[in-house]
Structure 1
Amino acid sequence: MDKKIISLWSLLSLVMFIICDFLMGENAQDLIKTIIVAAVLYLLLIIGGLLKWRLAYHFLLFVVGIYTLAMIRIVFIFATQSHSGVSVLAVVFAVLGIIVNLLWYRIAAKQIKSDYVRIVKKNVKK
């Protein structure tokens, strides 16, 4: 059950990043490449997590962190550069994306902790 919820929140996180990227994107080719890379990273790790690949959520933790930093950058640019090049809609979606990602961390923490415990118990000699 937790893995399905984590997967749904991960997909929501991906959608929020894609919306922010679309609103900020100027070059269509770079936009498409960025979206493809993000989608592949998220989807591979979500599928890996659902298939019980031990480290999938750990890598997804890193990926979500990187894309959270990208959204923080949007807010920072808006705040420091007198709104040039950043629409208010992009900032709104970036803030919502940051909130979604923080909630993702809260939800995923239990699964990641149980994965650590399982890995340690398996590798500790009795």
Structure 2
Amino acid sequence: MDKKIITSWSLLSLAMFIICDVLMGGNSSDITKTAVFAIVLYLVLIIGGLRNWRLAYHFLLFVVGIYTLTMIRIVFIFATEHNSGVSILTFILAVLGIIVNLLWYRIAAKQIKTDYVRIVKKNVKK
């Protein structure tokens, strides 16, 4: 699988999370800290994956999962609390973010499987 495709989907996933986080509101310094942390985390793992660091996509799998749970939380808040302050736009973007992340998993699974095979072959003694 082409790592540039995984990188593109990872950046789209990051953008969806940041947009949802900003639209949810809250303290602006908290939003800034969260966004900077997410950007650094994603970029370090994306660069690691592009440079053939063996576990980069495995850690990115975990990170995307955490941010997917955040978007699922937004959907549940919208669905259960009528006066939650979650706008319909935030709800729609959270649903789209979940879809993007699920597609990311589908695309990245092939690369992760390739990495596992490479790691096993390297470590198996002949």
TM-score, normalisation: structure 1: 0.97
Identity %: 79
**2:104 corresponds to which residue?**
104
Query: Hey, what's the Cα distance between the residues in 2 that align with 1:84 and 1:122?
Result: 52
Please report how far the alpha carbon of residue 83 of structure 1 lies from its aligned counterpart in structure 2 after TM superposition. 4.4
| AA aligned opposite 1:32 | T
Deviation sequence 1:18-68 (CA, Å, 0-9, x none) = 000000021100000000000000000000000111100000000000000
**Segment drifting more, 11-20 vs 78-87:** 78-87
| AA aligned opposite 1:98 | I
The question of 1:28 aligning with 2:28 is answered yes
**1:2 corresponds to which residue?**
2
Aligned partners of 1:45 and 1:59 also within 8 Å: yes
CA RMSD of aligned residues (A): 0.9
Unaligned runs of 5+ in 1: none
Query: Hey, what's the Cα distance between the residues in 2 that align with 1:92 and 1:22?
Result: 14
Please report how far the alpha carbon of residue 85 of structure 1 lies from its aligned counterpart in structure 2 after TM superposition. 1.6
**1:93 corresponds to which residue?**
93
| AA aligned opposite 2:16 | M
Runs of 4+ that moved beyond 6 A: none
1:72-83 aligned within 5 A: 72-83=72-83
Query: Hey, what's the Cα distance between the residues in 2 that align with 1:59 and 1:25?
Result: 28
